[in-house]
Amino acid sequence: MSHTPVIADDRHRFQVILRSSFVEQKHRDIYDKLRASSFGAGKVQIFHDHLSLVDIGDGTIKDLPQASVEYYPPESPDGIALPGLEENIPVRIDRVLHFHQFDPDASYPLGLRYLVYGDADDVFMDHHIIGAPSFHSVAKLKDVPAFWEPTRFDGTAGILIPEKRIVDVSPKVLRKVAFVDNAYHLAYLPPSGAYRQPPPDPLIRRDGTPPIYDVTVDGAGSDRVTIDKFIHFDVALLNNRVVIA
């Protein structure tokens, strides 16, 4: 479970990845049935009234007692309630896989960094948010990469895609504006929903070739990843209402 961050909101200026589960078996059955259908690894969101992310990060909060669940089938791109999981659904946080508060003024790395997580069967990667403006993304890998060993299952692995990067192109007077892979611009103050056509994930190759990338794995040399499904991509909510003082 990947938290949706918002740079302008101190309460949500965190990148958080959790391993969670539905408390009740009947709720797990509904979720498992959805995943076993043609929907597969599509986007599902869990909503809950605000809770302290800091308390979640340090393990003080381990339960989301009144969650609601939405999913995003092709015919409902804005999301609809998942029948049987509409409200007051208890969710347990089993483990915090990753937690950090990001610094909007941090320098971009020399490449796109990602956090890899999952288990022996399903492996995902989220864009590692460093600096701002930026983007938040979630993708599912097609195959389990060689570096993803069982010793990593209770955390994340950091990887770098050297051929892609965010480049700071800020003018000297206005800070800051950036672009990623020359595909589209990232800028402060885009109102939510301002993009008539949302920008594409920078890992979607514009020539239509498969999204296969050579990566550098933190502490483990080089490897290669193949993306099977682009699940989530956001720039508008993450960067909305950011003001430089």
List, for residues 120-148, the tens digit of each pLDDT value: 999 999 999 998 889 999 999 999 999 99
Q: Which residues pair with 64 in a beta bridge?
A: 91
Q: Is the peptide bond before 133 cis (omega within 30 degrees of 0)?
A: yes
pLDDT grade, residue 10 (50/70/90)?
confident
Check residue 76 and give its pLDDT. 92
What DSSP assignment string belongs to 154-223?
TS-EEEEETT--EEE---SSS--EEEETTTEEEES-PPTT--SSPPPPTTS-TT----EEEEEETTTEEE
Q: Specify the higher pLDDT residue, 87 or 9.
A: 87
Reported in sequence order, the residue ranges of 10-153 that DSSP labels E, i.e. its strands, are 14-22, 44-47, 63-71, 80-81, 89-101, 112-118, 123-127, 136-141
CA atoms within a 13 Å half-sphere pointing along the CA-CB vector of 183: 16
Q: What is the mean pLDDT of residues 117-121?
A: 96
In order of 179, 223, 236, the CA distances from 191 in angstroms are 18, 38, 7
Burial 183-216 (b: 16+ CB within 10 A, else e): eeebbbebeeeeeeeebebbbeeeeeeebebebe
* Mean pLDDT over each residue of the chain, to the nearest integer: 88
The whole-model pTM stands at 0.87
Check residue 228 and give its pLDDT. 97
pLDDT grade, residue 177 (50/70/90)?
low
User: Above 60 in pLDDT, residue 192?
Assistant: no
Q: Specify the higher pLDDT residue, 227 or 185.
A: 227
Check residue 225 and give its pLDDT. 98
pLDDT grade, residue 223 (50/70/90)?
very high
Q: What is the mean pLDDT of residues 55-83?
A: 94
pLDDT grade, residue 240 (50/70/90)?
confident
List, for residues 17-41, the tens digit of each pLDDT value: 999 999 999 999 999 999 999 999 9
CB-based burial of residue 14 (10 Å sphere; 0-12 exposed, 13-18 middle, 19+ buried)? Answer: buried
User: Above 80 in pLDDT, residue 16?
Assistant: yes
